[in-house]
Structure 1
Amino acid sequence: MILEYIKLSVRELLNNKLRSFLSLIGIVIGVAVVFIIFSISDIANVAITNQITGSNGSVNINYVKDRTDKMEVLNSSMNSNFGGLGDKSYHYDPNDLEQLVLVNGVDDAIAVYSTTQQVKINREKLGLAVRSVSDNFMDFYGFKMIAGNPLEAYPEDERINLALINDRVLDYSLNMTPEEVIGQKIQIKNRLYTIVGVTDTPNQSLGSIVAISKDAYDLMFSRSTIQYFSVKVKSGHDLDATAQLAADRLNEIHNYTETKNGYALEDLSFIISQITQVTGILSLVMGIIASISLLVAGIGVMNIMLVSVVERTREIGVKRAIGASKGAIQFQFIVESCLLTLIGGIIGVLIGIGVIEIALMVLNMKLPINISYVIFALLFSITLGLLFGYLPSKRAANLNIIEAIQSE
């Protein structure tokens, strides 16, 4: 029975193609915009999380005075995650790296030697994080050379006078391309280094850095300026659980298992939740504003359905005269209205998915389409049909049979 109503509705919509098309436009645009807004919110949340926590499967382990103090753990996490710009710490032993890589699920580990310095490049003074380059430095973070060569390409005795920078350094007012900066001198304290390579920035939380050999770093700074340890987790292993095993192993080695102070995983969940909460509110507000266009489109559908009732008055009268009930007439117009808005919703969702897929390609991101948004959009479209088709259907069902038959 319902299939018959749907066939009748399809036939009626096809008999008035232009009018149906014009009615669809508002629904299609409204659904597409709402779908895109909420999907953009998801993309923004993923991008923010990746910017803060990184996306290469690594977690930082910090030394804190009180592991039960969430704010202290958060502050340590912020310092280590954004370039390792915290205070010097003397609670790390480079030999612990051998123990960390033995932890089940840990793929690699690195000790981050870092300190903030005012450096000079081409007469420009910049505040950068000076990093020590270990043997696994490039591979651990996934650095790729944009210009020049890595330090390993040079004889060991020459590396002490060489330096690498990442492309974020060029974001300052250097007015130089990666190729042009190769060979330039960079002054750190009173020593000059030659820039021999420019890398990309695989994780924006690394900040703007200049990397020098470990020997050069040890000559200039204390050997005990390790800021934190970072461990990379093997694919297929739980990131947090594996990293926690590594932190537990450090606490066991240094007898911190029963103390408040010790090693703790970075915890940026608080700041991430605050930022994503803001983006969620903004998306909700924008979605509500966009939904107004859907309501306007719904009113347009109701107007078209009322016109259809007027045009089909004689047809309705004939159907009533041969036995069609008021409920059947009303249901027919409800089905027609819901079918119209559902078609608009489906087209709008398809357009929205297309726009989001293009955006993900441009941003070089992978994010599955949220099925709940698709279901919500389609259900909302049907609801619009029910709400704005009710009045026309009620009017059609209540037409006087004699007057309807006599109408022209």
Structure 2
Amino acid sequence: MDILKQSISMSIKNIRTNKMRSFLTTLGIIIGVTAVIALITIVHGVYDSVMGQFSELGANTITVSVTGNAMKTGISDSDIENIEALKYVNGTSPSVTTTATVMYEGSKNTVTVQGRSDAYFRNTTTNLVLGRELTSLEMDGSVYTCIIDRDCAQTFFLGTNPLGQTLKLNGYTYTVVGLTDDGSDDDNSSFNSFGQSSSNAGTVIIPYRNALRMTSSGNITSLEVYVSDTRYSDAVTAAVENILSESFSNDSDSYNVTNMDSLIQSMETTENMLMAMLGGIASISLLVGGIGIMNMMLVSVSERTKEIGLRKALGAEPSRIQMQFLLESIFLSLTGGFVGVILGLIISYVASTLMSTTFEIQMSAILLGVGFSAAIGIIFGWVPARRASRLNPIDALRNSDG
């Protein structure tokens, strides 16, 4: 232990003696570790934010979109009934989006209209703050009730309770039965039928059959299928594709079925590949840093030839000399690794704050950076240390005198 303590003390002393050279030597390690920590942490934060948005869409949701063909242009009621009859299907919701004109107190306003079924409210979080959701009794197209968002309430019913109030959408009078808060303060704009710009006054959710009458085609081209057990999402997806294939005469180009679980799994695979690629790219800097450490240690061996010769002449064992130079290399690389970890966390935190993504310390990235830097110190320090331990004391003293 005394020999180890002396070797550590001498190694630290030699590093401090050449501060500038030691700093420049560790700079490659610092840059490499910083890049590893920052890139992996930032990418993981962006991934978590994106996955959070997908989770809000619903991991138990299968989305069907239809482009149609010459024989059939949309999803029929019989198709929906067949899909809803499938095992593990907890309902479906046609998704119909259009715009409607609202005449209010002499001014013309444009609102976004979303047509939904009662299954949508059973399977989706709608942030309802007042009133109730739409029910199955209102889905036949003969009932004119609606749910409005905060922007719509502020535009038409500022200062009053919107429940029970009425809105006239494209000439039809709808009664407000619910209020949602989507947390949006964006001021959207659209164009009316005359090409004049008008502000979008918010979003109104109505029964999907009512919304279909407002569209020019009247066809259902988008459908959300809710799965009761996500373990059977793939099986339900295959069954839905079979129904649509039969309905569209085996024309697979007429429709597209997207399984959210499969999409999430694909994104997870992509993230793992991206992490590995970024780690590999950033590790190149660590490799360059390791070469710099080896170069410095070789120069140090040349400069300290006389010291090595004297120590060996006085009886120092080759293993002790090798240990000292190896410790110097490891200290240099670990110092660069610790500084790189701190800088990488700072950079990733700032980047995550600016991009409004989640920041989470990735221990795997830290272990990768520090472990790689330690390995660099051992691998690239071993050659100079071995060279120093093999110097002949007589040749070393003669060369240093010359």
Same fold? TM cut 0.5? yes
Question: 2:387 pairs with 392, 395, 403, which one?
Answer: 395
* TM-score, scaled to structure 1: 0.61
Confirm or deny that 1:29 pairs with 2:22.
no
Structure-1 separation of matches of 2:128 and 2:304? 70
Q: 1:62-81 maps to which residues of 2 (within 5 A)? A: 76-77=62-63, 79=65
Paired residue for 2:115? 131
Confirm or deny that 1:363 pairs with 2:375.
no
Question: 1:295 pairs with 261, 273, 287, which one?
Answer: 287
Structure-1 separation of matches of 2:38 and 2:311? 43
Relative distance call for 1:296 and 1:115 in structure 2 (3 A) is: same
* Structure 1, gaps ≥5 residues long: 62-75, 81-85, 97-108, 122-127, 171-176, 188-192, 198-209, 232-242, 252-259
Relative distance call for 1:227 and 1:270 in structure 2 (3 A) is: closer
Question: 1:140 pairs with 104, 125, 128, which one?
Answer: 125
- Aligned residue pairs, count: 319
Confirm or deny that 1:196 pairs with 2:181.
no
**CA drift at 1:347:** 1.0
Structure-2 separation of matches of 1:353 and 1:78? 42
Paired residue for 1:156? 164
Structure-2 separation of matches of 1:225 and 1:156? 32
Q: 1:96-135 maps to which residues of 2 (within 5 A)? A: 112=93, 114-117=95-98, 130-132=114-116
**CA drift at 1:142:** 4.3
Q: 1:201-280 maps to which residues of 2 (within 5 A)? A: 210-214=203-207, 217=211, 220=214, 227-228=223-224, 244=229, 267-280=259-272
Aligned-pair identity in percent equals: 28
Relative distance call for 1:89 and 1:344 in structure 2 (3 A) is: farther
Question: 2:277 pairs with 258, 278, 285, which one?
Answer: 285
Structure-2 separation of matches of 1:376 and 1:180? 46
Secondary structure of the 1:355 match is: helix
Alpha-carbon deviations, 1:136-178, whole Å to 9, x = none? 79x93449978553688546352343899999xx9xxxxxx95
Q: 1:303-322 maps to which residues of 2 (within 5 A)? A: 303-322=295-314
Paired residue for 1:15? 17
Secondary structure of the 1:159 match is: strand
**CA drift at 1:330:** 0.5
Secondary structure of the 1:50 match is: helix
Mapped contact 1:88–1:226 kept (Cα < 8 A): no
Question: 2:396 pairs with 384, 399, 404, which one?
Answer: 404
Larger Rg: 2
* TM-score, scaled to structure 2: 0.62
RMSD, aligned CA: 4.9
**CA drift at 1:305:** 0.6
Q: 1:171-186 maps to which residues of 2 (within 5 A)? A: 178-179=186-187, 181=189
Relative distance call for 1:225 and 1:384 in structure 2 (3 A) is: closer
Structure-2 separation of matches of 1:377 and 1:354? 15
Paired residue for 2:345? 353
Structure-1 separation of matches of 2:76 and 2:221? 5
AA of the residue aligned to 2:164? E
Secondary structure of the 1:149 match is: helix
* Structure 2, gaps ≥5 residues long: 67-73, 85-89, 103-111, 130-148, 237-241, 244-257
Structure-1 separation of matches of 2:367 and 2:60? 39
